[in-house]
Amino acid sequence: MIGRKMNYKLRITNYEEEKAANGGHCNSVQSKIQNPKSKNERGFSLLELMIAMFIIIILLSVALPTYQRTVQQARETVLKENLFQIRRAIDQYATDKGKPPQSLDDLITGEYLREKPVDPISEKAEWSEIMGEDTSSPDAEQGLKDVKSLAEGEDSEGKKYEDY
C-alpha cells in the first residue's frame, strides 16, 4: 500500500515538473490519456459519411413517391370540387334567371362565381364548355349546360379527367 501511494505521488510530481518545463503543456502518456483524440482524429470518416448518405437516399426513395401520390390525389379532389361548384352555379343561374348562362363569364358577372376556377391538373383557368338546351325552361333556350376539364390523362383510379 505504501508503494502505491509513493508511485502515485511520483507520477503527479513528474507531470507537474514536465508541465512547468514546457510552458504549461505536458506531452507525457498521462496527458494523452486525458485527451485521447489528437488533432488528426477529429471529424467523420468517409465511411461514416457514405453510410449517412445511403440512409438519406433510402428514406427519400420511400418518402418521395408517397408525397407525389398525395399531391396528385389532392389535385384530383380540387378538380372534382371545382367542377361541382361550377355546375352548382350553372344550375343556380338557370333557376334564378329562367335561362342558362351563355358562358362561364356570365356566372362571374352575375356574381355566382367570384372568379373562373383554375383546373389544378392543367393549371389553367380553361374549361370545356358544353352547350345545350335547357329542358327546364319554357323557351328551351340554348346555353351552358355543363363543364368538363381540358386536362389530359387519367386519375389514380384510371378514369379520364375529361370524363369527370
* pLDDT tens sequence across 93-117: 988 988 899 999 999 999 999 999 9
User: Quick one: which H or E segment has residue 94?
Assistant: helix 46-97
DSSP secondary structure letter of residue 113: S
The torsion defined by the Cα of 77, 78, 80 and 83, in degrees rounded to 10, comes to: 180
Q: What is the pTM of this model?
A: 0.65
Which cell numbers hold the place of 88? 352548382
Enumerate residues 6+ apart whose C-beta is below 8 A from 153.
121, 160, 161
Which cell numbers hold the place of 83? 367542377
Give the C-alpha distances (Å, rounded to integers) separating 164 from 103, 121, 148, 158: 19, 12, 7, 12
* pLDDT tens sequence across 41-89: 678 899 999 999 999 999 999 999 999 999 999 999 999 999 999 999 9
Whether 34 shows a pLDDT value over 80: the answer reads: no
